[in-house]
Structure 1
Amino acid sequence: MSFDNKYIPLITGIAIAMGVLIGSKLNFSTNEAVFAKNSKKEKLNRLIDYIDYEYVDAVNTDSIVDVTVNGILENLDPHSVYIPESEYQAAADDMRGNFTGIGISFYVYKDSIAVIRAIEGGPAARAGIKPGDRILYADGKQVFGENLDRDSISEYLKGVKNSSVALTIKRSGEKKLRDVDVKRKTVPLVSVDASYTLTKDLGYIKINRFAETTPDEFKKALSELKKEGVSRLVLDLRSNPGGYISAAEEIIDEFLEDDKLILVTKNKNGEEEESFATSRGDFEDGKIYVLINENSASASEIVAGALQDNDKGTIVGRRSFGKGLVQREMSLGDGSAVRLTIARYYTPTGRSIQKPYSEGKEAYYDDYETRYNNGELQSADSISVNDSLRYVTPKGKVVYGGGGIIPDIFVPKDTSMEGETINYVSRNGTMSYFAFEYLDTHRIEFKDISQAQFIADYIIDDTVVEEFLEYVRLNDSPVMFRDYKDALKKAIKANLAQQLYGNNAFEFILNENDAMIEKILELERRPVKTPVKE
């Protein structure tokens, strides 16, 4: 089966879940003059009142307000966004890094809640809930059937800390239903996806976003790796969309010596605020590699830029997204909020890495396709730089502003159909659903297999690949991968491992023969040149 390369961007998917930079150290003091009466605000209020009380048809003015707010923000930068009340809690939980609930990951599978995994050490796991269990009732309320809604499910499973929920469980192979009382607790939303050793002294940590809990998660992972003898680290920030500036600063502080400049922020009045490394770093003497790609944004770029500008470590990969704007979340008083751009940030050499957005949001977010078409994802020589935005680090390294972090060592994107197959299907929802359904009927086979045994010895045979291809066909997927069985086997194995053992196993399997990691291992094998004494 052959494919025209022009279709590859469609298969990879170019939608980027953008992170927002909130919770920075900038001080935002409320100025009453900002909120004083003025004719512009009175005009909007009067129009809404006219519609409310005089318009001939019934109108939901709440929706009009939402449209108005979004319309205003459309005329600003691409990262000033409105968060309606219905979405606010989920967004807040994600950035806070935890929520109060029973601690399960689940699918709404067919007509019931199917448990994928109970979070280790969480309330559900302690209560004996297992993967594959179906939750039928919560406090006597039926939570199965044709009209099952995921949002309403969350209302029953989440709740006040230390409150209890009575669940009725159906377990495969058992005729009798189980009644289980689970006490809700604070459940972490993990931002460190993986942490393990690549060699005896080279560790690997992957961060998926920068939440409030990320620094503590990172320090715990780093501490465990150091106990194993790690003195060199790969920090994987690929496709990390960002998050809190403060979380990024704490991560950087682990690597930089005291008083090294981390970041400069500048507001509309030209007022600057600087942040510096402290004496708290636990890896200042260790060697650091940072992996980035075209989807690494905002806080990820702060980390890469601060290390690069301080001549610390090596940045490996492809040019990052290019987001150098700082947002602050502000309540609108009705449960909704706006994340408004309040400043720009600059790396220690003084460069802004914000890419232009004057051509509009569509062109801004279509930048991936532009990079693909101009060859930038395949060759570092195709990266366009502006000589007027040229900066030099203390040790003489030339770096550029104007749109993303350019890595020290470039690794091209695998745009072959097989490479794209791994990326697409391994992190695609269809594959995850297939893995769940496969385990649902084969779970007993994995009962006594440890994670280490699974990774080292478990083989996905051609029969399982054929099952997946049939599953995809039945779900009307337009993508066919029959010619790429090795890639499919790797993706299936990774997804099974994720549901059996967690994200660490998932990333470990997908990272086998990964081009960027292989490049670092190659660099590590090179002999260190020592100066000749005369």
Structure 2
Amino acid sequence: MKKINGYIWPTLLALAVAIGIFIGGKLHFNDTPEKLFSTNSKKDKLNRLIDYIDYEYVDEIDTDSIVDVTVNNILGKLDPHSVYIPKSEMDEVSENMKGDFAGIGVSFYMFKDTITVIRTIKNGPSHISGIKAGDRILTANNDTLFGRRVPNSEVVSKLKGKIGTKVDLKVFRKAENKTLDITVTRGHVPIRSVDAYYMLTKDMGYIKINRFAESTFKEFKDALKKLKLRGAEKLVLDLRDNPGGYLGIAEKLADEFLEDDKLILFTKNKKGRVKKAYATSKGDFENKPVYVLINERSASASEIIAGALQDNDIGTIVGRRSFGKGLVQREMDLGDGSAVRLTVSRYYTPTGRSIQKSYKKGHRDYYQKFMERYRNGELVSADSIKVADSLKFRTPKGKIVYGGGGIIPDVFVPIGSNEEEAIESMDDTYQFFSRFVFEHLEEDRTRYAIYDMNQFLEEFRVDDILFDEFIQFVLDRKIKLDFYAQEEKIKAYIKANIAEQLFSPNLSAEIKGEHDSMLNKVLELDMATLGQPEVGATIKMQD
């Protein structure tokens, strides 16, 4: 991690992409589960082998683990997105895609071997019960949760439970130097798929979506409604780093922008059966300017939306070529609490494009193609994107689009320098900014009591002392960077993380957005369209 200008950061980025898209592969599937019932000699052979090992093999063997390995090996011979989900992982995966779980509603950080609350969810169970940011949770129902390295999974299991059940917490509040007994009644805790929304200009809203779960469409509609009330007549839909999710949710979201009866996509299975999805009369943002942001980590359902709008000549796609996943999975129960998500069809954009990239050379090659994009210069120059004339398509208005490996944006925005990407990784992947800010706030939270959201946004500045403290924090973790060349961005990210922990993700996103090259490109495009400046409007935060 010490090399910044060499190839360490690109390698880490590639790893992050592989993990994200692998997870995305688990997420992009149809909404209807399906069981297949039949017998044949191939299945009988596997069943007999397991029985022989169970009853005749000389040593005791965990045949469940053998079955898991067998299933994974079989799926490994198929495509990269057909995956096995063991019973042990099903609850977590299901919760993530459902969009909520039953718990106490806090985000926490293991600070000096103690669970410390970063913030409570507004109007959630802990917030209602009086738990505050900075509180240390010492015990849950008399089970000790401090003094040792407690795995996050164990902490979560102690705090989760059925809706309406109670958990007795012993909490140390540093600000008051006392220990409190607080009983929290567990409730619904949302897993947000809309990361943030705010007004980018006086008439342009911004919504960031991190995946397509059951709750995503409702979250999107709620955010859009609030933005429209504030005057949004244009929208930036940020799908960067979004690995996908439910196909049906992507269709509903695309419908918001497309006129009645416009084709959203069609799917085709192995029998040649074609299923088409069309826009309905339910769209709330039709015939209005929309910009969709994508990058090399946007996949699956994200690409469905970008492709549907691009092929219908709606809006502007901004960013870099997306990942290239054009396969649809269906979840199938295996009868023991585990499941398989099997690719059952391919999807095509309205012009007939398949944007699935090739996986003929195996799974490893498939996920390493990101590094190939980095090496061939595609991430820094649109001219380096390789396209095939045989995969050329035309939209109704004559715009040329290509299939065969992702959505190529209408407007290209290059990736940042190695040092700029290092800062992004320190924020998103390694959580350096968040941890530094948490420890800073722990020193004295009262210093920020003078600010409300708007005052913080307009008046607070990260001073040189706090900036130097962050540099030392990072140096202590063996990271070397030309910090002073990136001073403005680093200070903005420190401020953004303070905003998130004290106020809201929306305020944090707004602060970071000022240093976002894609958002700045959108503003540039919008001003060119209007022929007059619209940037710099003062927007009062309401959430």
Shorter-chain TM-score category? over 0.9
2:30 pairs, out of 20, 24, 44, with 24
In structure 2, the CA distance between the partners of 1:134 and 1:520, relative to structure 1 (3 Å rule), is: same
- Contact 2:4–2:419 under 8 Å retained in 1: no
1:322 aligned partner: 324
Partner of 2:294: 292
Deviations 1:96-141 (A, max 9, x none): 1111111111123332211111001111101111111111111222
The aligned residue for residue 483 of structure 2 is 482
Contact 1:469 1:480 survives alignment (8 Å): no
- 1:242 corresponds in structure 2 to 244
Name the CA distance, whole Å, in 1 between partners of 2:267 and 2:366. Answer: 22
CA distance in 2, matches of 1:288, 1:173: 46
Distance (Å, rounded) in 2 between the aligned partners of 1:421 and 1:456: 27
Is 1:93 aligned to residue 99 of structure 2? Answer: no
What is the CA–CA distance in structure 1 between the aligned matches of 2:361 and 2:388, rounded to whole Å? 18
SS of the aligned residue for 1:372 comes to helix
Q: TM-score w.r.t. structure 1 length? A: 0.93
Under a length normalisation based on structure 2, what TM-score does the superposition of the two structures give?
0.92
Aligned to 1:372: 374
Q: Which residue of 1 aligns with 2:147?
A: 145
For residue 369 of structure 2, what is the amino acid of its counterpart? D
SS of alignment partner, residue 229 of structure 1: coil
- Rounded Cα–Cα distance in structure 2 between residues aligned with 1:381 and 1:327: 33
Task: Name the Cα RMSD after superposition.
Answer: 2.0
The alpha-carbon deviation at position 61 of structure 1 amounts to: 2.1
Kindly provide the CA deviation profile for residues 308-351 of structure 1, in whole angstroms up to 9, marking residues without a partner as x: 01111111111100000111111222222111111110001111
**Equivalent position of 2:534 in the other structure:** none
Q: Which amino acid aligns with 1:422?
A: I
Q: Which moved more, 1:490-499 or 1:369-378?
A: 490-499
How far apart are the structure 1 equivalents of 2:475 and 2:54? 50
Contact 2:5–2:418 under 8 Å retained in 1:
no
Q: Could you tell me how far apart the structure 2 residues matched to 1:66 and 1:293 are? A: 34
Q: Measured at CA, do residues 163 and 437 of structure 1 come closer, stay the same or move farther in structure 2, by a change above 3 Å?
A: same
1:15 maps to 16
Structure 1 residue 406 corresponds to structure 2 residue 412: no
Deviation for aligned residue 1:88 = 1.4
Q: Aligned residue for 1:61?
A: 63
Counterpart Cα distance in 1 of 2:529 and 2:268? 43
Shift of 1:395: 0.9
**Equivalent residues of 1:21, 1:326 under 8 A apart:** no
- Which residue of 2 is the match for residue 423 of structure 1? 424
Tell me, yes or no, if the aligned pair for 2:5 and 2:419 is still in contact at 8 Å. no
- Taking the aligned partners of 2:495 and 2:482, their CA distance within structure 1 comes to 16
CA contact (8 A) 1:80 1:338 kept: yes
* Post-superposition offset of 1:465: 2.8
Residue 75 (str. 1) matches residue 81 (str. 2)? no
User: Alpha-carbon deviation of 1:7?
Assistant: 4.4
Aligned equivalents of 1:511 and 1:12: distance in 2?
Answer: 21
Mapping of residues 453-468 of structure 1, within 5 Å: 453-468=455-470
Q: CA deviation at 1:515?
A: 1.4
Separation in 1 of the partners of 2:290 and 2:244?
19
Take 1:2 and 1:14, find their aligned partners in 2: how far apart are those partners? 16
Does 2:224 align with 1:218? Answer: no
Aligned AA (1:233) = L
User: What pairs up with 1:303-314 in 2 under 5 angstroms?
Assistant: 303-314=305-316
CA distance in 2, matches of 1:284, 1:294: 27
Deviation readout 1:474-520 (Å, 9 max, x if unpaired): 34x34444343333222222222222223212221211132111111
Q: CA deviation at 1:527?
A: 4.9
2:435 corresponds to: 433
Written as runs of structure 1 = structure 2, the 5 A alignment for 1:87-126 is 87-126=89-128
The answer as to whether partners of 1:421 and 1:481 remain within 8 angstroms in 2 is: no
Show the counterpart of 1:532. none
Give 2:301's aligned amino acid: A
SS of 1:69's partner is helix
1:254 aligns with 2:260: no
1:167 counterpart (137, 147, 169): 169
Please tell me the residue identity of whatever aligns with 1:418.
E
Q: 1:142 to 1:307 in 2, by over 3 A?
A: same
Q: Given residue 431 of structure 1, which amino acid in structure 2 is its aligned partner?
A: F
How far residue 258 of structure 1 moved from its aligned partner, in angstroms, is 0.6
**Aligned partner letter, 1:194:** A
Which of residues 182, 185, 191 in structure 2 aligns to 1:183? 185
Letter in 2 for 1:24: N
C-alpha contact 2:3 2:9 (8 A) present in aligned 1? no
Residues 4 and 363 from structure 1, CA distance in 2 versus in 1: closer, same or farther, beyond 3 angstroms?
same
Structure 1 position 202, deviation (Å) = 1.1
Change in CA separation of 1:60 and 1:321 when aligned onto 2, cut-off 3 Å:
same
For the Cα contact (< 8 Å) 2:259–2:286, is it kept in 1? yes
Q: What is the 5 A alignment of 1:277-288?
A: 277-288=279-290
State the AA in 2 paired with 1:284: E
Distance 1:482 1:519, change over 3 A: closer
Q: Deviations over 1:432-470 (max 9, x none)?
A: 222221211132212232222222222222322332333
> Which residue identity lines up with residue 290 of structure 2 in the other structure?
I
What are the ranges of 5 or more consecutive residues in structure 2 without an aligned counterpart?
A: 532-543
**Structure 1: where are the runs of 5+ without partners?**
530-534
2:357 to 355, 358, 363: 355
Look up the SS of the partner of 2:169 in the other structure: strand
Amino acid at match of 2:483: R
Q: Any conservation in 2 of the 1:21–1:328 contact (CA below 8 Å)? A: no
The alpha-carbon deviation at position 425 of structure 1 amounts to 1.7
The percentage of aligned residue pairs carrying the same residue is: 54
Q: How many residues align?
A: 523
SS at match of 2:444: helix
Label 1:361 to 1:2 Cα distance change in 2 as closer, same or farther (>3 A): closer
Name the structure 2 match of 1:388. 390
Q: Contact 1:421–1:488 at 8 Å: present in 2 too?
A: no
| Contact 2:489–2:515 (8 Å) recurs in 1 | no
Deviation at 1:374, TM superposition (A): 0.8
Deviation for aligned residue 1:15: 2.1
What is the aligned partner in structure 1 of residue 503 from structure 2?
501
Q: Deviations over 1:340-379 (max 9, x none)?
A: 1111100011110000011111111111111111111111
Indicate the residue corresponding to 1:195 in structure 2. Answer: 197
Question: More deviation in 143-152 or 219-228?
Answer: 143-152
Change beyond 3 A, Cα 1:192–1:49: same
Q: Deviations over 1:152-176 (max 9, x none)?
A: 2212211111111111111103343
Aligned to 1:332: 334
CA–CA distance in 2 between the matches of 1:326 and 1:352? 12
1: distance between equivalents of 2:294 and 2:381?
A: 15
Q: Whole-Å Cα distance in 2 between the matches of residues 296 and 43 of structure 1?
A: 41
SS in structure 2 opposite 1:402?
coil
Question: Which stretch shows the higher mean deviation, 425-434 or 187-196?
Answer: 425-434
